Amino acid sequence: MSSLIKSTIKVDNLTIKQGDKTLWRNLSFCLQSGDRLGISAPSGFGKSTLGRVIAHWQKVSSGSILLDGNVISTKGYCPIQLVNQHPERSFNPYRTLQASLYDAWNPAPCWFDKLSIKSTWLARRPSELSGGELARIALLRALDPRTQFLIVDEATAQLDAYIQAKIWQILIDESVKRPLGMLIFSHNKTLLQKVCTNILYFDAARD
């Protein structure tokens, strides 16, 4: 067991509405540093919306999300980071990837090797990379040492099997070493069973 101090996200009685649809009603769970909690639910169920809410990209309708008992400040770096299946939406299209990445943190060169990122990609803008290349840079940016919890919303789906396996091993290692808490959304139950320490399944029709 790690000797580092552990943090906890407490999601309490969360209700999330999108338009006139209630996606999540009275959802409660806890996530600790080092946990890798998987959420498996069908398409359209509300996984991405839940991820955005927990990462503070979107407001809750009711309920609370506390980090170690406190409301997370909307100012400064958010210790809960989200990477999703649309990495192009999380980069400024007019800035080079280098500028966007180094605004967050300054990764050691070994990180580029680990994530199979070529240094030449960094001088380009987001539209000049493939989805899979951009996904790796988004992940690297989110691995900023200030990140305490990482939400991975199908963020590796567009990578080939070899790179996917490599990246999941890195994420598992980080979750143990830092320790980093992870919330992982996927349709892929086999992937969740391989990488998660616990999984919540939402399979039933709810309307």
Using CB under 6 A as the binding rule, whether residue 18 contacts ligand ATP is answered as yes
Binding mask 100-119 for ligand ATP (x = CB under 6 A): --------------------
Contact 50, 23 (CB under 8 A): yes
Residue 146 C-beta: closest distance to ligand ATP, Å: 26
Q: How many residues bind ligand ATP (CB under 6 A)?
A: 11
Nearest to 103 by CA among 52, 161, 144, 133: 144
Determine the distance from the C-alpha atom of residue 185 to the mean position of all C-alpha atoms in its chain, rounded to a whole number: 9
Contact 15, 63 (CB under 8 A): yes
Binding mask 37-56 for ligand ATP (x = CB under 6 A): ----x-xxxxxxx-------
The Cα 90–Cα 101 span in angstroms is: 11
Nearest to 184 by CA among 87, 116, 84, 44: 84
Query: By C-beta, is 120 or 207 nearer to ligand ATP?
Result: 207
Using CB under 6 A as the binding rule, whether residue 141 contacts ligand ATP is answered as no
Using CB under 6 A as the binding rule, whether residue 184 contacts ligand ATP is answered as no
The Cα 41–Cα 101 span in angstroms is: 31
Residue 63 C-beta: closest distance to ligand ATP, Å: 16
- Applying CB under 6 A, the residues found at the interface with ligand ATP are 18-19, 23, 41, 43-49
